[in-house]
Structure 1
């Protein structure tokens, strides 16, 4: 099980506002049942099988092009732990327990 963060944004759109592009990328995830995901202010966290995550990020990468962008930058961070199951909530809970 992998956890990844993807940040996808168009470059040179003529506007500093990117929320319409973000919303269009998030629509790719709305009907996706193979992963869990969470939108954050700086990117989207995805949890699932690595091959599936990479497939979905590739689809999301194409969305700004489909909406008029001529250049898109995509950043991906991947935490692929194979010694035990790791989830978004488990990682957060681990930190919260240490804050007590």
Structure 2
């Protein structure tokens, strides 16, 4: 299973607020049955098989264009671990277990 962090940013919009674009991207992700996702303040985490994640990213890449943007920049980080099953919860737990109180 892979984990990706994605940030889709429309450029040249009439408003500095991006929350409407983010909400529309989240609506698209909600319809993707083969991935799990989590909104964060700076992007979205998507978990699933890599091919399914890439399909979902391609769909949310289009959202700003559909909503009038003429240019979009998308940043993607992918952690594709093949030696054992990974999840966001497992990754966070692993770090927390090592943090000294």
By how many angstroms is 1:12 displaced? Answer: 0.6
By how many angstroms is 1:14 displaced? Answer: 2.0
How many residue pairs are counted as aligned between the two chains?
100
Q: Which residue of 2 aligns with 1:25?
A: 25
Q: Which residue of 2 aligns with 1:66?
A: 66
Segments of 4+ moved more than 6 angstroms? none
Distance 1:88 1:99 in 2: 17
By how many angstroms is 1:31 displaced? Answer: 2.2
Q: Which residue of 2 aligns with 1:13?
A: 13
TM-score (norm 2): 0.95
Q: Unaligned stretches of 5+ in structure 1?
A: none
Distance 2:68 2:4 in 1: 26
Distance 2:47 2:88 in 1: 7
By how many angstroms is 1:99 displaced? Answer: 1.6
CA RMSD of aligned residues (A): 0.8
Q: Structure 1 residues 30-39 or 46-55, which shifts more?
A: 30-39
Q: Unaligned stretches of 5+ in structure 2?
A: none
Please show how residues 1-100 of structure 1 align to structure 2 within 5 Å.
1-100=1-100
Distance 1:66 1:11 in 2: 13
- 1:11-51: per-residue Cα shift (whole Å, max 9, x none)? 01021101000101111111222111100000000010000
